[in-house]
Structure 1
C-alpha cells in the first residue's frame, strides 16, 4: 500500500493532512468532499489513509490498467497467480485502542473497521472478503456476515463441528488485494486473483492460527465462534442507515503491525465504497452480455450507488439484442435495479450522453421492460418486506435498419 501511495503522490493525487484530525466524524467529512487520496498524519497520533481508490483513474492504476480497458481486462481474468510463502508473523496481544478506528456518522452503532480484509480458512480452503466490523471491546468485533456468502458458510460449517472459524484481518494492503477480495471468484481464488493483478506472484505470511495473509500494515488474528452481539446501525452504499442486527463476534487473539503503521479506512457510502462494491460486478455482466450480443463496455454508475444502476454499451447484431442484454445483466448481478442498454456511439461514462439516448431512442410501449416480484438488493430502502423488488430495463438503442434517423450531426461526417 505504501508503494501505491508513493505512486499516487508522484502523480500529485495525494493530500497530506499534517494537522490533528478527529477520528469521530471529522476525517469522514473531509473524505466525503473529495476523491483525492487523503493521508492523515495525526489521528490520535496515528497515521491513516482514506480515498485510496476513490475514482476510476486511481482504481485502474492500482490494477495495472486504463479506465477504458479496465472492464475488458478484468473479464479475461484466469485467477492463475501464484502465492509465495514468506514465513510466519510474530503476534502480540490484540489491542484495538492502538488503531485510529473511525466513527463516521452520528447514528453509527460505534467505531467501525471498514477496509479490513477478512481471511478465513477451513479444510484447506481460504476465503477473503470485506465485512463491516464494529468495535465492541479492545479485542472484540461484531461483524456483519451476509447470509449465504462464503465467510458465513464457512462459519456455519465450523460451528456444526463444534469448532471456531480461524480468521485474520489484514489492514492496509495493496488496492489490488482489496479489489480481489471484493470480487466473486472461484472458491478460494481471491489471493490468486490478487497475484494475477499484481503481475503473477503475491508474497503471503502465515498467522499462528494457520490463516494466510498478504503484506499489510496491520494484521489481526482470531476466531469467529458461537457468540453474537448487537451490530449497527451503519451507513451503507445508498447513504442511508442499515438497521441494527444481531451478528457474530470476532475474538482477536493476536496483532502484528509494521513500524508506524498506516491504517486504511473506507468512507461508508463514499466513492471508494461504491467503486469497490460495483466495479467487481462489471466484468461479470460483461461476460454475461457477451453471451447474447457484442458487448463494448459496462458501467455501474455513481448515481446508482455504484451497485444498483448499470449502463451496458453494445453493438447489436439482431433487433432483439437490447432486451437480451438487459436480461443477461439482471441474471449476472441480481442486485441490479435499473439497466440501460446503449449503442456504440453513446459514452456509457457520460450520464448526459446516456440521457440523450433515452430521450431520442426509447419508446415506452416498445423499449421498456418491467419485471416485478424479483429478488433485489437487501440495501435498497424501497424493497418489499419479503426482499423482492421491481426491476426496469431500458433498451435505448437505435432500431436496426433505421439508423439514419438517429445519426447525430457533426463536422467530420
Structure 2
C-alpha cells in the first residue's frame, strides 16, 4: 500500500485531519500538528503529511494486525522476503535539477539551527553492501545537506570505508515511501536486508527502481540523488531529538545532491522531532528484538518501550517466572538487545506493562532495593541521553517480580464477586 493509498484509507475512515489554512514551513506546521494523522495542503503551496504512524493502532493498521498482536507478529516474521526491480517509477514523473528550496522542508523549533529533513530514508551502497536508514538531514544549501551519521552504524561504516579510499559514497534520499517499508528500514535487521524485511512484513515483494547513480530505491513521493563527500564536513545541529531536548552541534559529513525527482504535486512526509511518530519509529522496532533475546533465557510474555521513557530509554518486560534468577537474565538480555536502553523493569504476568500505575505498583510492592536493583556503570548507552557523557552512562535493571517462595505475600487479592440481585 503506497503512502497515497494509506492516506486515502485514513481519510475514508475519518482518521485524517486536513488543514487547508496556508502555513509557513518555519514553525507554522509544528505549531499546528497534534498527534493524529494530519495532511497540510498549503505549506508554501505544497502538501505535507505527518503522523501516519503516530500510534500502535496506526502501525497495526498498516501491518494488518491488531495493536496487541504487533510484537508477536514482528518477532515471528522471517528476516527476509523477495524484492523485484521495476523499470520505471511514479517518482520519475518530474526530474529536475536539485533545489531544496522547492520542498516544504520544516523548521520545527525556534532554537533549530536550520530546516531539517526528518523522514528521509538514506539508501547507500559501497563494495556490494547496501544500507537503508533514516537520518536527520540539515539543509545547508540548495543542493547540500549535513547528515547526522551515528558512529559505527551502517551508513557511517560505509561512508568511512569509501572515505578511506578518497571516494564519495553514492546515496539516494527517499521521502514519502509506503508506511510498512518505512517501518522496516527503521528496524535493526541484518546488514543490507531492510527491503527484504519490508517484503516479509508486507507479504509481497517490494519494488525497487534504479537511480542514475546506481542506487536502488522503493517507489516514493520524492527521491534526491547524490553522494556523501569523503572529507567535507559542516556543523550539524542543534536539533531536538527523541528526548525532546536539544542534541549538541557536531561536525558531520556533507551530502551533495546531483538529481531530484518526484511525483507531480508530491506529498512531503515529515516527522515531528520528539513527536509520537518519531517515538514509534525509533522505539517499537526494538520491541521484537528484546522479545526474541529474552525468549532465549526466560518465558517472555510481552515487551513495551514506554512513553515516559521516550519510547527509547525505558522498557517493561513481562515474563512468567520459572526460577528466581529469570528476572536478572531477562534484564541482561534486554540490555543486550537494545544497547541505547537506560532502564528496564521486569514484571510478572499479572502486571499490565501498558499501564504506568501497574508498573509502579510492581516496583512499590515487589522490589527490595538492595537485592532487586542491578546497576551497570560506565557502559555504552546513547548520545541522545542528556545524562550521558559522549554516550557513556549507567544502566539500571529492576526486578519487580514476586519472590517465588513467598508468592502469597505478593499476589493481589481479587475483588469479591457478587450478583446483581445481591446488590439490591
Q: TM-score, normalised by structure 1?
A: 0.96
Q: 341, 345, 364: which is aligned to 2:350?
A: 345
**CA distance in 2 between partners of 1:268 and 1:220 (Å):** 21
How big is each residue's C-alpha offset from its partner over 1:319-341, in whole Å with a ceiling of 9 and x where there is no partner? 11111111111111111111111
Could you tell me which residue of structure 1 aligns to residue 338 of structure 2? 333
Q: 103, 128, 133: which is aligned to 1:129?
A: 133
**CA distance in 2 between partners of 1:169 and 1:207 (Å):** 11
Q: CA deviation at 1:412?
A: 5.7
Q: CA deviation at 1:29?
A: 2.1
**CA distance in 1 between partners of 2:87 and 2:226 (Å):** 18
Q: Secondary structure at the match of 2:65?
A: coil
**CA distance in 2 between partners of 1:274 and 1:392 (Å):** 21
Could you tell me which residue of structure 1 aligns to residue 413 of structure 2? 408
- Could you list the runs of 5+ residues in structure 1 that have no partner in the other structure? none
Could you tell me which residue of structure 1 aligns to residue 79 of structure 2? 79
How big is each residue's C-alpha offset from its partner over 1:68-105, in whole Å with a ceiling of 9 and x where there is no partner? 11112111222222112112565421111111000001
Q: What is the Cα-based RMSD across aligned positions, in Å? A: 1.4
**CA distance in 2 between partners of 1:387 and 1:130 (Å):** 20
Task: Indicate if the aligned counterparts of 1:83 and 1:203 stay in contact, CA closer than 8 A.
Answer: yes
**CA distance in 1 between partners of 2:413 and 2:363 (Å):** 14
Task: Indicate if the aligned counterparts of 1:228 and 1:246 stay in contact, CA closer than 8 A.
Answer: yes
Could you tell me which residue of structure 2 aligns to residue 268 of structure 1? 273
Task: Indicate if the aligned counterparts of 1:143 and 1:247 stay in contact, CA closer than 8 A.
Answer: yes
**CA distance in 2 between partners of 1:381 and 1:307 (Å):** 13
Written as runs of structure 1 = structure 2, the 5 A alignment for 1:277-292 is 277-292=282-297
How big is each residue's C-alpha offset from its partner over 1:266-309, in whole Å with a ceiling of 9 and x where there is no partner? 01111111111111111111111101110011111111011000
**CA distance in 2 between partners of 1:114 and 1:77 (Å):** 28
Task: Indicate if the aligned counterparts of 1:230 and 1:245 stay in contact, CA closer than 8 A.
Answer: yes
Could you tell me which residue of structure 1 aligns to residue 308 of structure 2? 303
Task: Indicate if the aligned counterparts of 2:35 and 2:275 stay in contact, CA closer than 8 A.
Answer: no
How big is each residue's C-alpha offset from its partner over 1:3-42, in whole Å with a ceiling of 9 and x where there is no partner? 11122222221100011112111211222xx321010000
Say whether 1:35 aligns with 2:20: no
Could you tell me which residue of structure 2 aligns to residue 21 of structure 1? 23
Q: CA deviation at 1:348?
A: 0.8
Q: Judge which range, 348-357 or 39-48, deviates more.
A: 348-357
**CA distance in 1 between partners of 2:377 and 2:126 (Å):** 39
**CA distance in 1 between partners of 2:324 and 2:235 (Å):** 52
Written as runs of structure 1 = structure 2, the 5 A alignment for 1:154-303 is 154-226=158-230, 227-303=232-308
**CA distance in 1 between partners of 2:66 and 2:31 (Å):** 29
Task: Indicate if the aligned counterparts of 1:296 and 1:313 stay in contact, CA closer than 8 A.
Answer: yes
Task: Indicate if the aligned counterparts of 2:172 and 2:215 stay in contact, CA closer than 8 A.
Answer: yes
Could you tell me which residue of structure 2 aligns to residue 10 of structure 1? 12
Task: Indicate if the aligned counterparts of 1:88 and 1:208 stay in contact, CA closer than 8 A.
Answer: no
Could you tell me which residue of structure 2 aligns to residue 144 of structure 1? 148
Q: Secondary structure at the match of 1:402?
A: helix
Q: Judge which range, 317-326 or 74-83, deviates more.
A: 74-83
How big is each residue's C-alpha offset from its partner over 1:349-378, in whole Å with a ceiling of 9 and x where there is no partner? 111111111122212122111221211111
**CA distance in 2 between partners of 1:77 and 1:123 (Å):** 28
Q: Secondary structure at the match of 1:109?
A: coil
Task: Indicate if the aligned counterparts of 1:374 and 1:389 stay in contact, CA closer than 8 A.
Answer: yes
Task: Indicate if the aligned counterparts of 1:80 and 1:200 stay in contact, CA closer than 8 A.
Answer: no
Q: TM-score, normalised by structure 2?
A: 0.94
